[in-house]
Structure 1
Amino acid sequence: MKDAQETPKSSSKVSKVKQGSVDIYAAQCNNCLKWRVIDTLEEFEEIREKLTEKPFSCNRKAKLCCEDPADIEYDATRIWVIDKPNLPKAPEGFRRSLVLRKDYSKLDPYYITPTGKALRTRNEIAAFIKANPEYEGIALSSFNFSSPKIMEDTIPETAGKKSSANANKRIKILKDDV
């Protein structure tokens, strides 16, 4: 997953402009609203999976409390994204991966199988499970292809925004309709 900033009851992730890479996972404390770095993807997924029933708080990390300074500040030094709360943790052996589009418009979710194959849809997951009976017990509901929201105020001004050619086509179509 990429960077993320979320509401106090949400989890988050953080990534640099480096495409397809996450450099920091973070969660925002439900009490003091400070950002705390989460050490591993596994720990982050556990927090995100149960966020509504068990909101993240500073004291969840050893030797940390709300009076301590934030681990990281929300700013434009990296791209932040908001991941949805309560997404299921990737099944054992699988890894959820997010790839940032070149135009910074969206993160595309993939699941990497234990064999290293990237799957983009539930249909591909179902076909993989059917072809590999050792994964038969894994429910399709364990896979979520929701895309995190990119925080636009953290996208670099020099980043490749959506092509204005599409905007020009829309304008032309509108003019032709008039």
Structure 2
Amino acid sequence: MKDAQETPKTSSKIPKVKQGSVDIYAAQCKTCLKWRVIDTVEEFEGIREKVIEEPFYCSRKPKVCCEDPADIEYDATRIWVIDKPNLPKAPEGFRRSLVLRKDYSKLDPYYITPTGKTLRTRNEIAAFIKGHPEYEGIPLTKFNFSSPKIMEDTIPEVVEKKSSANANKRIKISKDAI
């Protein structure tokens, strides 16, 4: 018999990841290479949008310098993804969302409109803007659907990773095997 105070164990071998969530935004200092937590997605997108012309430095955060310990360490306690530099900031009222595929192979980017509609392609964005004249001035170049790179060394070992050579192969089952 199970003790009432014992914590139940789950049978799942793959950690549960809330789909579409990024729990921490961080930027790496160009000088010391330490990771600094960025407080808001808006601030992170602002850094990412201009990171080539204006690299991130620890001193950009109030009361922080390179001698301070890192805010967060790069390790396998969470899944790390790296966005491409200079991606545009989501237009005012829109929100960029990333959804992790169940097989951990990719993050799919989407945009949430000010009305709450989820848009998955540039054509859907164009149709939305055409149907909502109040957003006509927003250029389509402000919407970028490139996917961040998943750092494979941070994917849990229990996740079966796809090999590119086997990704498109189909398994045939002979009638004799059934």
Question: What is the aligned partner in structure 1 of residue 42 from structure 2?
Answer: 42
Question: What is the aligned partner in structure 2 of residue 138 from structure 1?
Answer: 138
Q: Distance in 1 between matches of 2:167 and 2:97?
A: 30
Matches within 5 A, 1:43-82: 43-82=43-82
Q: Distance in 2 between matches of 1:106 and 1:157?
A: 16
Which runs of 5 or more structure 1 residues have no equivalent in the other structure? 1-15, 173-178
Which runs of 5 or more structure 2 residues have no equivalent in the other structure? 1-15, 173-178
Matches within 5 A, 1:98-177: 98-162=98-162, 167=167, 169=169
Larger radius of gyration: 2
More helix by share: 1
CA contact (8 A) 1:81 1:149 kept: yes
- Whether 1:84 aligns to 2:84 is yes
More strand by share: 1
Percent identity (aligned)? 87
Aligned length: 156
Partner of 1:108, secondary structure, is strand
C-alpha displacement of 1:158: 1.6
Q: Distance in 1 between matches of 2:39 and 2:85?
A: 18
Q: Distance in 2 between matches of 1:133 and 1:104?
A: 38
Residues 168 and 120 of structure 1, relative CA distance in 2, 3 Å threshold: closer
C-alpha displacement of 1:169: 2.8
C-alpha displacement of 1:103: 0.4
Partner of 1:99, secondary structure, is strand
Q: Distance in 2 between matches of 1:26 and 1:168?
A: 34
Could you state the TM-score of these two structures normalised by the residue count of structure 1? 0.82
C-alpha displacement of 1:107: 0.4
C-alpha displacement of 1:20: 1.9
Residues 94 and 32 of structure 1, relative CA distance in 2, 3 Å threshold: same
Could you state the TM-score of these two structures normalised by the residue count of structure 2? 0.82
Q: Which amino acid aligns with 1:61?
A: K
Residues 100 and 168 of structure 1, relative CA distance in 2, 3 Å threshold: closer
Q: Distance in 1 between matches of 2:70 and 2:152?
A: 22
Q: Distance in 1 between matches of 2:37 and 2:69?
A: 12
C-alpha displacement of 1:17: 3.7
Partner of 1:20, secondary structure, is coil
Q: Distance in 1 between matches of 2:100 and 2:35?
A: 23
Question: What is the aligned partner in structure 2 of residue 12 from structure 1?
Answer: none
Question: What is the aligned partner in structure 2 of residue 32 from structure 1?
Answer: 32
* Residues 90-135 of structure 1: per-residue CA shift (max 9 Å, x gap): 0000000000000000000000000101101110000000000010
Q: Distance in 1 between matches of 2:167 and 2:87?
A: 34
CA contact (8 A) 1:106 1:147 kept: yes
CA RMSD of aligned residues (A): 2.1
Q: Distance in 1 between matches of 2:45 and 2:97?
A: 12
